[in-house]
Amino acid sequence: MMPRLPLPKGMEEAEVIEGWRTPEGARIAAIRILLDEGWKTYWRSPGEAGIPPQFDFTASENVAGVEVLWPRPEVFEQNGMRTLGYHDEVVLPLAITPTDPERPVNLAIDLDFGICQEICVPVSVAVSAELDGPDEAAPAIEAALTAQPRLSDINAQCIVEPIADGMRVTARMPVPASGAEPVAVFELDHPGIWVSEAQTHREGDTLVSMAEFVPGDGQPFPLDAEKLRITLFEGGDALELDGCED
């Protein structure tokens, strides 16, 4: 096991929770982060003022791939800015594909992320575990998996157009009104792209949301609408739309 780095102010614990093996041979585990009271950390898409988490699994052994499975975050509004994340504690499930399913997995994780109270600070932690035990009940992992955004079958229609420093996407989604307007979050699997906070309004039973995508060189670029992910947050629910028709 690798030596553990000292935990920064605002954190109480960081650890790996061991879970179970799937019928396909993958292993399910999780990272658990316990924060001090009043502190928060960020979702995979943290918002304009957040720090996106970064995971490094390269020191692991017998690991062909790892997928982080994100539970639904909270929407925070502070100082006129919107961020998404978790307060007090978060459990992030991991779906681990072993190189050899018959051998133990030595999971080693270097995690860079941000934690906030009045101000936000970047932190780094290292956690590890050998995943070789029998399948165990892991209620914390099961609860986090259940709390993932629900995949929606809503068909979003998108208009993609260039702007001076990037691209603008306007999505029209058939989402009937049910109270407060949902918060829409746009994501694009493309490193180095800044995404604006979405501006959302309603036209009858159609939710219209617009976001801008700005690359590092500040130029228009070929944005594939089918690779967009739009997540709608409303109350304690979250819907995830994968892909958009243009």
CB 135 within 8 A of CB 21: yes
Question: Is 237 in the same domain as 163?
Answer: yes
- pLDDT tens, 210-224? 999 999 999 999 999
- pLDDT tens, 63-116? 999 999 999 999 988 777 889 999 999 999 999 999 999 899 999 999 999 998
Enclosing domain of residue 123: 11-146
pLDDT of residue 3: 42
Q: Does residue 6 belong to any structural domain of this protein? A: no
Task: Answer yes or no: is pLDDT of 5 > 80.
Answer: no
The mean pLDDT value of the chain amounts to 91
Question: Is 98 in the same domain as 198?
Answer: no
pTM, rounded to two decimals? 0.90
190 token code pair? 């493309």
Task: Answer yes or no: is pLDDT of 2 > 50.
Answer: no
Domain-terminating residue out of 146, 168, 203: 146
Cα separation, 215 vs 193, whole angstroms: 4
CB 218 within 8 A of CB 224: no
Question: Is 76 in the same domain as 138?
Answer: yes
Question: Is 55 in the same domain as 130?
Answer: yes
The CATH number for 98's domain is: 2.60.40.1250
**3-class SS of residue 139:** helix
- pLDDT tens, 15-65? 999 999 998 889 999 999 999 999 999 999 998 778 889 999 999 999 999
**3-class SS of residue 104:** coil
The residue ranges of DSSP E strands in 117-242, in sequence order, are 120-131, 150-151, 157-163, 166-174, 183-188, 194-195, 199-203, 206-214, 228-234, 237-242
Cα separation, 59 vs 232, whole angstroms: 35
C-alpha dist (Å) from residue 192 to 6, 114, 127, 131, 217: 30, 18, 27, 34, 10
Question: Is 104 in the same domain as 200?
Answer: no
Domain-terminating residue out of 120, 146, 172: 146
C-alpha dist (Å) from residue 79 to 75, 82, 118, 129: 13, 8, 11, 39
Listed in sequence order, the residues at least 6 apart from 240 whose beta carbon sits closer than 8 Å to its beta carbon are: 149, 150, 151, 152, 229, 230, 231, 232
Q: Does residue 200 belong to any structural domain of this protein? A: yes
Cα separation, 60 vs 27, whole angstroms: 14
